[in-house]
Structure formats: structure tokens, C-alpha cells
């Protein structure tokens, strides 16, 4: 197993269906609870564990998941509401992980994640086939559709949950 991608790299179905979307939304809908079960009660030593040399700590991972969901949520809403297919800038996630808020207790990010995912799921449950094709342009990754963004939202959370479990198993 490659510790960088413990669940494998993201693979999108050739055609994303509403069934795929609903499955991904179901996963996101209970993600915060599943994450809590893994990280609740961890002490500082556990929160400072890494899944491989040079990787983020469990604490940084929890904060990163919330940061990333916030960015992806915003991008999803922009794709659904801006007819100009705007260009979105990326964010330097490694630099974000170094900022002082990444040293806070993880509870604030867990609460943030609960709220973000609740809102993402609410939006996702109301999507139409036509809306799945709406898109924005990422400055580095090109055109990204709503369908592929929802897939990424779900995969990304599972990807980092696997990192956290891997770190805690060491």
C-alpha cells in the first residue's frame, strides 16, 4: 500500500449518475461522526503522530480536512451560481497547515466540518442532472464540474480518514 494514497487515487466513473452523487452525499453526511469516533479522546501524543515521515500530523489532517471542505464548498456554490464559469485560484495547503490555527484543539474543525458537510449534502440532494454539468475553471486543474467536485469532496475526506487511521496504528 502507498501511504500517500491508502485508499488509492481518486477514480471517477466514466459517467457520473445521480446514484453516484447520492452515495457520495451519504458518505459525507455521516463523515463527521465517523471521524469523531476515530479522533475523540486522543491525547497530544496521538494528535502529533504522522502516517509517514514528513507527513502532516493527525491534528493538521483534521484541520486540513475542514479547510479543504470549506474551499470546495465555496467552489461548488460558485459553479452552481456563476454563469461565467469563473477561474478559481488554488490554495497552498502546506502553508495553510503551518498557520497558528492548525495548532488549535481539533474540536473547532470537527464542528466546522459538521456544518460544512450538512450544507454540502443539502445542496447535493437538490441537484438536477443539468446542474451536475455546471463547472468552474481551476487555475491549475482546468474545468471542474459539479459532479466531479462532489466526487472529490467525498474521496478527499475518506483519503484523509485513512491517513489518520494509518498514523494512529503506528
Residue pair 101/57 in contact by the 8 Å Cβ criterion: no
Q: Where does the pLDDT of residue 53 fall: very low under 50, low under 70, confident under 90, or very high at 90 and above? A: very high
Tell me what the pLDDT averaged over the chain comes to.
Answer: 95
- CATH code given to domain 18-169: 1.20.120.450
Helix H, strand E, coil C: the string for 106-168 is: CHHHHHHHHHHHHHHHHHHHCCCHHHHCCEEEECCCEEEEHHHHHHHHHHHHHHHHHHHHHHH
Summarize the confidence of residues 95-101 as an average pLDDT: 95
DSSP letters, 57-83, are: BHHHHHHHHHHHHHHHHHHHHHHHH-T
What is this structure's pTM?
Answer: 0.94
Give the tens place of pLDDT for each residue, 119-170: 999 999 999 999 999 999 999 999 999 999 999 999 999 999 999 999 999 8
Q: Where does the pLDDT of residue 64 fall: very low under 50, low under 70, confident under 90, or very high at 90 and above? A: very high
Domain edges within the chain: 18-169
Amino acid at each position: 500500500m502507498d501511504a500517500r494514497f491508502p485508499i488509492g487515487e481518486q477514480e471517477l466513473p466514466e459517467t457520473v449518475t445521480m446514484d453516484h452523487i447520492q452515495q457520495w452525499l451519504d458518505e459525507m453526511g455521516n463523515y463527521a461522526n465517523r471521524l469523531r469516533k476515530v479522533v475523540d479522546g486522543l491525547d497530544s501524543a496521538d494528535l502529533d503522530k504522522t502516517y509517514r515521515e514528513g507527513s502532516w500530523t493527525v491534528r493538521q489532517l483534521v484541520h486540513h480536512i475542514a479547510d479543504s471542505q470549506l474551499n470546495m464548498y465555496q467552489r461548488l456554490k460558485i459553479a452552481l451560481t456563476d454563469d461565467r464559469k469563473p477561474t478559481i485560484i488554488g490554495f497552498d495547503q502546506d502553508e495553510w497547515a503551518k498557520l497558528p490555527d492548525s495548532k488549535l484543539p481539533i474540536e473547532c474543525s470537527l464542528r466546522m466540518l459538521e456544518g460544512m458537510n450538512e450544507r454540502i449534502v443539502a445542496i447535493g440532494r437538490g441537484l438536477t442532472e443539468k446542474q451536475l454539468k455546471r463547472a468552474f475553471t481551476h487555475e491549475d486543474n482546468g474545468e471542474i464540474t459539479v459532479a466531479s467536485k462532489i466526487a472529490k469532496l467525498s474521496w478527499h475526506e475518506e483519503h484523509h480518514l485513512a491517513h489518520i487511521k494509518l498514523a494512529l496504528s503506528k
